Chain A
Amino acid sequence: MRTTRAAAVAAVTMSLALAATACGGGSSTDGGGSNDSPKTLTYWASNQGASIEVDKKVLQPELDKFEKETGIEVKLEVVPWSDLLNRILTATTSGQGPDVLNIGNTWSASLQATGALLPWDKAQFDKIGGKDRFVDSALGSTGAEGKDPAAVPLYSMAYALYYNKKAFADAGIAEPPATWDELVADGKKLTGGGKWALGVEGSNPSENIHHAVVFAKQHGADFFTADGKADFTSDKAVAGVKQFVDLMAKDKVVAPGNAEYAQNQSVSDFAKGKTAMLLWQSASANLKSQGMSEDDYGIAPVPVQSGAPGTGTGVNSMVMGINMAVFKNTDNIDGATKFVKFMTSDAEQKILNQAYSSIPPVKGAQADAAFNTPANAVLKDTLAKSAVAAPQVADESQFETAVGTAIKGLFADAAAGRKVTEDSVKAALEKAQQQMPAK
């Protein structure tokens, strides 16, 4: 009898405990921030270095410095790119997220629309030294126009053409190509004997998008109308996307195998000398970790259709970069603001951007001599003069997936030897457009 009663008591207790945990456990999901736990912060960093371990080594000493200055302990988690957006979405839904986090700057408008991120109005910006400490191009990718930014620029990056000096010398090419025609002509000289001229990441939707936006822009097309409607199938957009895919399909300067690349294999190929050229953002640190010496490659602006890079059809990169955001429901809003101030201070900007071979979006740090090397000069120049911001619309991340996947399919066609025609490109883009949310 006693054991029966004990069992019954245990069963009821366990049920109650279960019910209690099911209901409890949530923190403030009501939206407003607070200062309930002023001594700790959780920080999700994006993976900027060659590996997550490298990132921890770069960031931890700086976080220790911050703790010494303010007494606030920052718990760091470096989240791989493949998980970051999903993790942010989950955190947004559950209200259980970090206090401070890094976001890809192209996601700014999409994440802004969720309302989960703290808006950076003038008062908030003043706490970290004012909006005018940051360069304009970087501020252009922090949220939809006319709204308070959803994030603060942290690292800026731009695409550049990395070329293998020895391969160029062997093929008798003196200068890196400045136009696509030149690139294709040079590419034919560089291709052969198991080597190829250029590497792409054909199965990586985001990479595809970064190039497609620029190619379309060079043909005078945008993927979104001025009022934010999807417009993927204009003749000019089709021409831009086709020119990109034609590098493999028609010009044959890209190895067909690149159609299935999605894990930065094209960077490895370049580092190993299998390809002579690579279009990449801030690749220096990555190439170094793969054993390629800085003397072995040169950095030039990404080619344009004709003339020199500039605005309008002279655009040759998207404004790439990382923004730092604060979750609105943080329970340490003052600490989070202090942390953003610390990370965007001139001194920290110099240290961090040097470690990641990116460009500081903070004017004071950008002027530093460390960012005047020839390699950085190209990136800085591109960002200042010829980079275009990602479409700052709420549907940006859907656009990346839909059009990026369409281009992945086109590369697959090209790799299989199927014809890539204006019609097939248009059909693929049409399908992508139909997948966009109807408004």
Chain B
Amino acid sequence: MTDLTPTPRRAYIEVEDLSVQFPTEDGVVRAVDGVTFAIDKGQTIAIVGESGSGKSVTAQAIMGLVNARTADVTGHVWIDGQDVVGMTDDELRKMRGSTMAMIFQDPMSSLHPFYRIGAQLTEAVNVHNKVSKKEARDRAIEMLHKVGIPSPEKRIEDYPHQFSGGMRQRVMIAMALINSPSLLIADEPTTALDVTVQAQIMELILELQQEYNTAVVLITHDLGIVADAADQVAVMYGARVVESGVIDDIFYAPEMPYTLGLLASVPRLNQVRAERLDPIPGNPPSPIRLPSGCVFNPRCVYTDRVEGDLCATERPALLPTSPGHMVRCHMSKEERGVVATIALRGLGREET
């Protein structure tokens, strides 16, 4: 922990032991607690979790959007060897919108209602580049064309309210990618959209990711989107990553009881029979009063498989179970295998 010489970075982006705490009158809110993951350019990691799991705050902390006045951010976010967490406001600002960019959940409210989209796009160009008005405008039109806005040279003069929700999200994507960032954070980018529009937007994000060789951090609660878009997955619960790995690890060899519960409780279109769902009992914890020990222990049905009251008293570490597959659980690897078989037996998969 006290090793001050920077270790050589393996991946383009490495998040290491990232924590965010908000001191409040009711006590310290641990919004993010020791989140660790790494991805390379051109790759997508999905951070999955339910509301309050800390996935959105993680995204904002990476972008340096967590207000330093109200929160304590610790840990490291290495982007191409530079640690974002220790940066000054101005250094961070220069990275935002150029090296790293973000799109948000609600395209309806994410664009400024009073400014034409052209002005909002060129502003993003001008803040990071010394270019002429004409160049910035051409760049904006080109980006709008790329994200599939019809007749962009006309639409650039329109205001956000003249676009539909899907189109606004396209504009947001254009704005995020206009300076060719190497990291794109997409925070629930399709949650506010209808499914057919969601499919269009996901398609667009993946297409542009290929073109720009961008690393994408995809924040979502939708396991379907994860399966569709991600290379790697980090499952978050109660401010911590409880399991992470490549998608096959998470979908076909999950070991953490929360991941198992999540997979078993999602209604699926491709199951042979619409069987009764197997929900996780209880409610997600409040970030103000996270349970001691393993954050999932009050809802976990397998705590009796661990000796003593370890689950309730001692915080399990995120440890590798196979190369690249990390699990935070007190159960032994054998027990986890047994439990996974029990939990997932109901998930008959359709043979196509």
State yes or no: do A and B come from one complex. no
